[in-house]
Amino acid sequence: MVLKAFIRLLTPPLLVEGYRSVRKRWNGGGLSGDYREWAEAVRASTGYDSPIVLEKTKAAVLKVKNGEAAYERDSVLFDEVEYAWPLLAGLMWVAAQTEGRLNVLDFGGSLGSTYFQNLVFLCRLPDVRWNIVEQPQHVRIGRELVEDEHLRFHVCVEDCLAESQPNVVVLSSVLQYLEHPRDTLSELLKLPSNHVILDRTPFWDGPIDKLCVQKVPPSIYPASYPSWIFSAQLFRSHLGENWTVMAEFANPDKIQGPVDVVYKGMIITRQVAPAEDLGRMAWRSID
């Protein structure tokens, strides 16, 4: 549809190739194992709550906020911003439907990586609110050192909703690190927001989800943690009949795994019109 064309316009081929070349720096880590239970994978890893990870992320984000670096991802600093163009296109598409108002619930958004990544575009909108829901230690540091008039931190979704009404949920590289990702996704789909943007999420073509341990490249920080590889077929079926995938896009993330892993993103919207009406809109598609 029009959304797919919009994404293409914001993704020139040369930029995509440059983006891919940078993302390949993540090679060196990997996914391994085939664990039956989450607790078993936890025992085989160091976990997410290592103070090393949080401290390095804090230092990197503060450099970006203070103008000493252009961009941060996974605590790694970059001299130039590496845009996730499809995600940005999805955000602008949501804002275009609400007269420029963008209110984001960034679930698992660390200390604001995606917010600062896209700030040069977000600040052109007339009304922006970016709400991050994170672990308590991230929220404490975020509130003390990172928050501004547009960026807020919350320990749970309920706290966010008490202050704000997001019109889009962002899930960037987060669902695979949750013990019960499908339960979390189901709860988020019940929110009033009509749009969900998924990014940097690992899938494979098999019939079931696989539970592994992901090792972070030592050049980033010494850590490992449980991670799911989602069955693409099961994931789509879990969305239910009230939601439709408006656009799907590949991410250039590369990682070794026990199966052929492909990182993907999706722009998902609540189906507010009958399926036949959505079908009549197909004439607007570039495909």
Q: How far apart are CA 199 and CA 177, in angstroms?
A: 13
**Dihedral sign, Cα of residue 237, residue 212, residue 84, residue 63:** positive
- C-alpha dihedral sign at 195, 201, 207, 210: negative
Q: What is the DSSP string of 33-102?
A: ---SSHHHHHHTS--S--HHHHHHHHHHHHHHHTTS-SEEETTEEESS----HHHHHHHHHHHHTTTTEE
The mean per-residue pLDDT over the stretch 203-218 comes to 95
Q: What is the number of other CB atoms lying within 10 angstroms of the CB of residue 27?
A: 12
Region of poorest pLDDT, from 12-16, 51-55, 227-231, 280-284: 12-16
pLDDT greater than 80 at residue 23: no
pLDDT at residue 51, rounded to an integer: 75
d(CA 57, CA 100): 31
Helix (H, G, I), strand (E, B) or coil at 108: coil
20: pLDDT strictly greater than 50: no
Q: Say whether pLDDT at 6 is over 60.
A: no
CA gap 150, 139 in Å, rounded? 15
Sorting pLDDT into bands at 50, 70 and 90, what band is 3? low
Residue with tokens 């501004």, as numbered in its chain: 148
- Region of poorest pLDDT, from 6-20, 60-74, 77-91, 221-235: 6-20
Q: Where are the domains of the chain?
A: 2-284
- With a cut of 50, say whether residue 32 has pLDDT above it: yes
* Cβ-based neighbour number of residue 25 at 10 Å: 13
pLDDT at 216 over 50: yes
Buried b (16+ CB within 10 A) or exposed e, 53-68: bbebbbebbbebbeee
* CA 100 to chain centroid: 21
Distance CA 68, CA 65 (A): 8
Q: Are 169 and 236 in contact (CB under 8 A)?
A: no
Please answer whether residues 122 and 106 qualify as being in contact, where contact means their C-beta atoms are separated by less than 8 angstroms.
no
Looking at domain 2-284, which of 3.40.50.150, 3.20.20.150, 3.50.50.60, 3.30.470.20 is its CATH number? Answer: 3.40.50.150
How far is residue 170's CA from residue 29's CA, in Å, rounded to a whole number?
25
Q: Tell me the per-residue pLDDT of 130-173, one tens digit each, with 9 for 90 and over.
A: 999 999 999 999 999 999 999 999 999 999 999 999 999 999 99
Q: In this predicted structure, what is the pLDDT of residue 108? A: 96
- Please give the mean pLDDT across all residues of the chain: 86
